[in-house]
Amino acid sequence: MPTTTGASPAATAHRRRSRRKAPPPRQPWCCSFGLDPSTAAAAAASRSPLPAPPRAKPPHQLAPPLSRRIRSPGRVSPIDDPCFATAASSCVSARLSSVTECPPPALPPPPPPPPPAAVDRPREMLRLRLVEKGLVLEVDEVERVRRESKVVRKVLRGRGGEVAVEGKVEVESFREVVEMMLEDKDETAAMRRLARGGVARAIGVLEVSLSLMFDRGVNNCLKYLEAVPWNESEEDIIKKLLSQHSSYEAAFRNLLARLQPQRPTSSAELVVELVDSITKGTNNNARKELRNLVNGILSKSSVYIKGDKELDKSSIYCICHSCLNSLVGLFEESSDLVPADQTSISSVGKGPLEGIYKLVEDTNWLLQILIDRQMGEEFVDAWANEKALRSMHEQVSPMVRHELSRISATVFIAMGNGKLHCTGDKRFSFFQAWFRPMLVDFGWLRRYPKGLNVTALEEGIGQALLTLTLAQQQMLFMEWFEAFSRQGRECPNLMRAFQVWWRRSFVRSLGSSS
């Protein structure tokens, strides 16, 4: 039994080479060797490597004929015996020479070329250009945006295109609108999205939605803005948007109700109601705060008032006369309760005195409103002719009657500052009625000013007195001179005005040569 040790060195080297990986075939169908061309084409298509040849067997086992040992085109299985190897080599050489001498076999028709790959159509692309920012947002879901936006539907008649959006809007608001178009029609989710951005973002989303005529976005923004508070700058922007897009007037109805009264009410009527409510109030601290509030509304520099038409003068005077009539009743009541010689406030109960203080405070407040609006001349005439209060001034205690001089002090200061433009007769009538009571009550006003500027009062009395004729001034200055000589600083100090009158009358008079 022969063993493998008897194998020739050439066969051993061939076995070592056969263990290496076979190289890939080259054009397996180009060499026939009796192979089916279709088999060769299939092998080329699959490009699978040829299996490695089996290990060589001993010579006594090489029984099959030579043709069965062909494993691949152009390859021959190894043969151990040298004689067989020589015979095989001569046989292969003879066959190769015969192949080269005969014409090449007819090649099979080439396989049909693969069908051309389908050319992808260009995708639709919508370009939304934010003009103010110079930015472009590209959206590939064009059909969905086209269904939501009337502007996009009108502009994009073909496939894709560009839509310009005007206005000073933020990029995030622009993006919010597009995302709202692409999301499901969930109103709750849209409201949550707007709530996260706040009022300013919702206004920006509303502006873009109005520009693109995105109805669902407009309605969501309006519903959110109607339910939340705004500041005044945000209110101005909302008003501007609503005025620019009148086609959405029906959708703006609820929002307009917060900006325009359905049944307009005159502001003058409301001011009268506010003033009347304050004069009838009983909480002193609250009344003071509300007076400051109304003063701010009625101030000429206020943003809450447009002109003089915002104040109904006749209605304010009606309230003034009502206060004066109430004062007459309280003074009649206090004349019975408080003797004329009583001068101690601590011994007086609350009762009518608090009512007098309240009415005087309200009357002075109303008078100041009229003076600031240059409507106080009629009050000067009414106060000069208030005979009932003037007659009771001498019958009640100075601790009560000095409240009447508090009203006169307001008139004196305004007249001395040139804010009351009364005629000379009315000015003199006022002095005749209330100048003497002022000389008597000035000490009480100094001790209990309650916010009254006593220095301004002295200056106002002197300046107002100098607006009268020189003869009228002489009569009143002489009366002051006598009162001041008796009471001293319990009277107002009118010395500066007295000196002016004296120079005008005797030193620098119009008829004097100097």
Which residue's structure tokens are 């060769």?
A: 40
Residues 6+ apart with CB under 8 A from 433: 383, 384, 385, 386, 390
Q: What is the pLDDT of residues 346-360, one digit of tens each?
A: 444 466 788 999 999
Task: Write down the pLDDT at residue 162.
Answer: 74
Instruction: Identify the domain boundary among 259, 279, 304.
Output: 259
Structure tokens at 486: 């008796």
Residues 6+ apart with CB under 8 A from 348: 337, 338, 342, 397, 399
Tell me whether residue 354 is in a domain.
Answer: no
Whole-Å CA distances, 374 to 319, 422, 429: 17, 11, 20
Name the domain count of the chain: 2
Under the phi-then-psi rule, with left for phi > 0, alpha for psi from -120 to 50, and beta for the rest, what region is 162? Answer: beta
Burial 390-426 (b: 16+ CB within 10 A, else e): bebbeebbbbbbbbbbbbbbbbbbbbbeeebebeeeb
Tell me whether residue 456 is in a domain.
Answer: yes
Task: Write down the pLDDT at residue 444.
Answer: 95
Tell me whether residue 146 is in a domain.
Answer: yes
Percentage above 70 pLDDT, the chain: 65
Q: What is the pLDDT of residues 220-242, one digit of tens each?
A: 999 999 999 999 999 999 999 98
Q: Is residue 58 pLDDT above 70, yes or no?
A: no
**Average pLDDT, integer, range 39-52:** 46
Task: Specify the range with the lowest mean pLDDT, choosing from 6-20, 314-328, 430-444.
Answer: 6-20
Question: DSSP state, 7?
Answer: S
Q: What is the pLDDT of residues 270-297, one digit of tens each?
A: 889 999 999 999 899 999 999 999 998 8
Task: Write down the pLDDT at residue 182.
Answer: 83
**Average pLDDT, integer, range 470-480:** 96
Bigger pLDDT: 407 or 313? 407
Tell me whether residue 280 is in a domain.
Answer: no
The C-alpha atoms of residue 449 and residue 368 are separated, in whole angstroms, by 17
- pLDDT, the chain, mean: 77
Burial status of residue 255 (CB atoms within 10 A of its CB: 0-12, 13-18, 19 or more): buried
**Average pLDDT, integer, range 468-488:** 96
**Average pLDDT, integer, range 400-417:** 95
Q: Is residue 101 pLDDT above 50, yes or no?
A: no
Q: What is the pLDDT of residues 150-195, one digit of tens each?
A: 777 776 665 566 777 766 667 788 788 888 888 878 888 889 989 9
Output the CA torsion sign for 78, 84, 90, 94. negative
Question: DSSP state, 507?
Answer: I
Instruction: Identify the domain boundary among 259, 291, 324.
Output: 259
Q: Is residue 319 pLDDT above 60, yes or no?
A: yes
**Average pLDDT, integer, range 324-329:** 93
Bigger pLDDT: 220 or 86? 220
Task: Write down the pLDDT at residue 411.
Answer: 97
Tell me whether residue 448 is in a domain.
Answer: yes
Q: Is residue 66 pLDDT above 50, yes or no?
A: no
48 band by pLDDT with thresholds 50, 70 and 90 = very low
Q: Is residue 262 pLDDT above 50, yes or no?
A: yes
14 band by pLDDT with thresholds 50, 70 and 90 = low
Task: Specify the range with the lowest mean pLDDT, choosing from 72-81, 347-356, 448-457.
Answer: 72-81
Strands 161-165 and 135-139: unpaired
Q: Is residue 99 pLDDT above 50, yes or no?
A: no
The C-alpha atoms of residue 315 and residue 259 are separated, in whole angstroms, by 28
The CATH number of residue 252's host domain is 3.30.710.10
Tell me whether residue 291 is in a domain.
Answer: no
The C-alpha atoms of residue 226 and residue 374 are separated, in whole angstroms, by 41
Helix (H, G, I), strand (E, B) or coil at 43: helix
Domain that holds residue 249: 126-259
Instruction: Identify the domain boundary among 259, 283, 316.
Output: 259
Longest CA pairwise span in the chain (Å): 174
Tell me whether residue 370 is in a domain.
Answer: no
481 band by pLDDT with thresholds 50, 70 and 90 = very high
Q: Is residue 343 pLDDT above 70, yes or no?
A: no
Tell me whether residue 19 is in a domain.
Answer: no
Task: Judge whether 401 and 410 are in contact, CB under 8 Å.
Answer: no
In the sheet where 126-130 sits, what is the strand order?
Answer: 135-139, 126-130, 161-165
Task: Write down the pLDDT at residue 50.
Answer: 46
